[in-house]
Structure 1
Amino acid sequence: MIRSLIFFIAIILVYYAVKTVIRSAFSAYTGERSRPRSLKGEEMILDPECRTYVIKERAVTRRIGRTVHSFCSEACADRYEKAHHGERG
């Protein structure tokens, strides 16, 4: 039983190794290069209180004066609002 399981795993490993070598040789022969994968980026916003970057969709927003600010948390928003309560912006 164990011998057949080890044999089966060895067959799978050999299959993937041969498949990789053949793909590599084929792409070298045809001149194809693998395209770099583009990663989906998300817009980041700087928290004015703690200077941490936060994903825009997750940010806590507050209007302080005439300006809308984005924060990493309610605590940072409260601290910033207390420190800049009298300012107009």
Structure 2
Amino acid sequence: VTTKNVTEQPPLLFDLTGLQKEANKKLNLSAEETLTIAQSLYEKKFITYPRTGSKYIHEDLWTEIPHLIRALQEKEDCKQAVSQIKWGHFN
């Protein structure tokens, strides 16, 4: 057995079409069901606007990212993941 550490870039953000495809593949949800769920999560402020075609975070929002990550540190179910984040320039 050989063990090897590799560094992997995080995947791009989902656009609505990509989210719908992934939800169909993994959860067997229709495009309409996925949109309904995404819209509900957006209205509860759990996700960003689900109908965007963009897979990138606009530069105007970069300054908010550290604040959002710090807020996640307060949530018990996020603490372990947040503790592994390398602070600095996020991509």
Under TM normalisation by the shorter chain, which class is it?
under 0.3
TM-score after normalising by structure 1: 0.21
TM-score after normalising by structure 2: 0.21
Q: Which has the higher contact order (CA 8 A, sep 6+)?
A: 2
